[in-house]
Structure 1
Amino acid sequence: MASTSSTTSPDVLTRFLRYVQVDTQSSDEHADHVPSSAIQFDLARLLADELRALGAQNVQVSDHAYVTAHIPASPGAEGRPRLGLIAHLDTTEVVSGFGVRPHVVHYEGGDLVCGIVDGKPVAIGTEKVAALRDLVGEDLVCTDGTTLLGADDKAGIAEIMALVARLSNHPELPHPPLGVCFCPDEEIGHGAELLDIDAFGCSYAYTVDGGPIGELEWECFNASEVTVRFRGYSIHPGDAKDRMVNAGNLFTAFHGLLPAPMRPEHTEGYEGFIHLEGVSATCEHATARYIVRDHDAQKFASKVDLMRRAADFINAQQGEERVTIEVKPQYRNMAEIVAGYPELIDVAKEAFAAAGVEPRVLPIRGGTDGAQLSFRGLPCPNLSTGGYCCHGVNEFIPVRSLVTMVDVLQELVARFA
């Protein structure tokens, strides 16, 4: 059950509600352009204007929609290395992000009803999200059930911006020089690839792009996108015997060779997966798009090799090459780099604890801009935002998590001062 809340909005909530209503969905179809969708500039320019109003320096929006800014240090900390705080502008295209209508409900237990769509409640219960049992009595920001919410990663943006506002109002709060960056196209694997790290000028950074509050992550998947193409031979069905080769059937045969236990719905923790994202098929041609993920580099390579061997098996059956595979690397496990900077993890743990949050170190079952940045020379663990059920219409975030994460960030930057 849920009822509308009438609580006064804190700054971070006001910002979050404003940002999620700006459509910023990235587009995998146009991944050869950065940003992949021009609408990401709308939020980029809004944030740049707000940063300038808060006294940030060197505020820029690049031709590729990267927002960067520098925040001066508190008195006495000017000589400390600059610390980066990073979040991403885009939301996933898996679920509509146009016309987001967020609202705050006071959760009273049972099913969390986001909205009513076509006369039916859009709801989620404790059998799907056990954490709801601990959120009874909380104010939660939800969608209306027709779109995603966009807490991934506009919650991270709002939390960073609320910190900047707090430091602007209270410049005596201890903090080193800060770099703020909001990147485009994280959801389609592009992320921080075009960030000018030298101009950004940070020695280390944190992405604010995680899930429930307290999550602290420095390991992520190794990741590739795999496109499999199937070439059939079309002929009138009446004349097809021993002649037709149906590309759709080639796909089903290929997919059947990939073990079901390797699908994401059967994996957790450090277990990797092979995930079919989409397929289009006719008798003549079929194309299947997969993503392959694993924290372990050898297991990751074996999954890609398995797909190649499945293609070879079908080609051998056909007596000619009818299945081809294209592998596009996306990112590597940032643990290879961040493991060399244990102090970044220790300081983040201290910051969570100081804000009254128990830190939980977990492997990311996904990607983060920090993976690319770490391998480009900017070690970059990932912090929680507080959100749940991202990439879906049931997405929500507790107001208390938004507020508390600003406190966590304040404690974090103080320790670098």
Structure 2
Amino acid sequence: MKVEERFLKYVTYHTTSDEESATVPSTSNQKILGEVLVNEMKELGISDVRMDENGYIYGAIPASEGRENDPVIGFIAHMDTAPSMIGENIKPKIIKDYQGGDIVLNKEKNIIMKADEFLHLNQYIGQDIIVTDGTTLLGADDKAGIAEILTFAEYILEHKEFSHGKIAIGFTPDEEIGRGADHFNVQAFGAEYAYTVDGGQIGEIEYENFNAAGAKVKIHGVNIHPGEAKNKMKNSILIGMEFHQMLPFNENPAYTEGYEGFQHLSHFEGDEENSILDYIIRDHDMGKFEQKKTRFIKIAEYLNDKYGEGTIELIIKDSYYNMRKQIEPHMHIVEKAREAMLKAGVEPIVVPIRGGTDGSRLSYMGLPCPNLSTGGHNFHGRYEYIPVQSMEKMVLVLKEIILAK
């Protein structure tokens, strides 16, 4: 099966994760796709295929004769899609032989992906681009990674003449809400090192990521009729706005790039009595990361002193850490990926992840795990797209990684 056919099949499954859910996985729909993948893996001839009670999928391709002592290499992708955009009833379409210019995603709703806003479109003139209808995300993050891994696996299994070591394959739930590695069984997976196939633009190799935390700011106000409110009302909405305005304006993600960290207000709801602000806090540098969290604490203390103890309830929880410290003793695996890309005709782009990946947590769990591109762009939103040719190239990259001695 072609890689784009697999991808278009997988995106029909609704697998949005839910950060408010306490179940594992956070949404039962992820297991529905999981069952599909388990059956497909078995049909391909992948060995030891199973999905555990938490929705994690494992399988393996045995080593070729004479390469049983090679290091076991793993490939990992995640099944869920981000809750930041609708992931149900996805209607993908392929723009064949893209000739540049704007792409009309939805004529009726006047949703247009403009070439002057997304300049990377110019890299794909003459290629076939998979887009949405503008009402949902696409799901290339990370169903493209799953499609690429299984298409690569099918190729290896069909071509017995290629010599390789043992290959471990794993698919996780709930990566988008920071729980993808929570129940991953590193020992059972059995790899010496692995790669998550969960990146963006074709050629990306990433072994640095943000240190990450989530901050929930709960504000408890006092409501009273506005006609009698003088010196009595404490409007939690206004206090929430005050909290946010005390954060550095230039550390908004809209003004940062590269190694620059940020704090991002992802959700704000409330009324006069109670409001909630949800933030994510990110920085590659651990010292600056801790400073950002400390700033939240100091703002909360200041506003509690101003408006009364208990007005601000602050909950900060670390999500994951920069995997660079864990990868640097194993830089040969980054070099292996770089060489594989060059052999596959792909220009390597070594960049820090301005986000997270299961690999960051797994690296701290004893499984060094840099991240590789899927080929997609504009993840988590209506303008998400992926060129078919980029997915095809990634299948070749995975093959070159595994065939190298």
Q: TM-score, normalised by structure 1?
A: 0.95
Deviates more, 1:312-321 or 1:47-56: 312-321
Indicate the residue corresponding to 2:307 in structure 1: 318
The match for 1:406 is 395
User: How many angstroms does 1:115 deviate by?
Assistant: 2.9
For the residues of structure 1 that align with 2:104 and 2:342, how far apart are their CA atoms? 32
For residue 312 of structure 1, report the CA deviation from its aligned partner: 1.4
Name 2:90's counterpart in structure 1.
Answer: 100
Q: How does 1:247-266 map to 2 (within 5 A)?
A: 247-266=236-255
Trace 1:185-264 onto structure 2 (pairs within 5 A): 185-264=174-253
Once the 2 structures are TM-superposed, how far is the Cα of residue 98 of structure 1 from its aligned partner? 0.7
How far is 1:363 from its partner?
Answer: 0.2
What is residue 27 of structure 1 aligned with on the other side?
18
Residue 34 of structure 2 corresponds to residue 65 of structure 1? no
**Deviates further, 322-331 or 375-384:** 322-331
The answer to whether structure 1 residue 267 and structure 2 residue 271 are counterparts is no
Amino acid at match of 1:409: L
Pairing 1:44–2:64 present: no
What's the CA shift for 1:100?
1.0
**What's 1:7 paired with?**
none
Aligned partners of 1:74 and 1:172 also within 8 Å: no
2-side partners of 1:63 and 1:229: how far apart? 34
TM-score normalised over the length of structure 2:
0.98
Cα displacement (A) at 1:113: 2.2
Task: Give yes or no for the alignment of 1:276 onto 2:256.
Answer: no
CA distance in 2, matches of 1:13, 1:125: 24
Number of aligned positions between the proteins: 404
Q: Is the aligned partner of 1:355 residue 2:344?
A: yes
* Mapping for residues 109-258 of structure 1, pairs under 5 Å: 109-118=100-109, 120=110, 122-258=111-247
CA distance in 1 between partners of 2:262 and 2:388 (Å): 33
CA RMSD of aligned residues (A): 1.1
In 1, Cα distance between equivalents of 2:317 and 2:91: 36
1:75-90 alignment, distance < 5 Å: 75-90=65-80
- The runs of at least 4 aligned residues of structure 1 exceeding 6 Å deviation read none
What does residue range 322-401 of structure 1 map to in structure 2 within 5 Å?
A: 322-401=311-390
SS in 2 for 1:15: helix
Q: What SS does the corresponding residue of 1:389 show, helix, strand or coil? A: coil
Q: CA deviation at 1:319?
A: 4.1
What is the CA deviation profile of residues 23-51 of structure 1, one whole-angstrom value per residue up to 9, with x for unaligned ones? 11101121x21100000011111111011
Q: Distance in 2 between matches of 1:65 and 1:116?
A: 38
Structure 2, unpaired ranges of 5+ = none
Q: How far, CA to CA, are the matches of 2:336 and 2:87 in structure 1? A: 35
Structure 2 CA distance, aligned partners of 1:342 and 1:180? Answer: 21
**Unmatched tracts of structure 1, length 5 or more:** 1-9
Q: Could you tell me whether the CA contact under 8 Å between 1:75 and 1:172 is conserved in 2?
A: no
Equivalence for 1:4: none
CA distance in 2 between counterparts of 1:114 and 1:405 reads 26
Secondary structure (helix, strand or coil) at the match of 1:279 reads: strand
CA deviation after TM superposition for structure 1 residue 172, in Å: 2.2
- Contact 1:117 1:146 (8 Å CA) reproduced: no
Identity percentage of aligned residues: 44
- Equivalent residue letter for 2:201: P
User: Which region of structure 1 is more displaced relative to structure 2, 201-210 or 236-245?
Assistant: 236-245
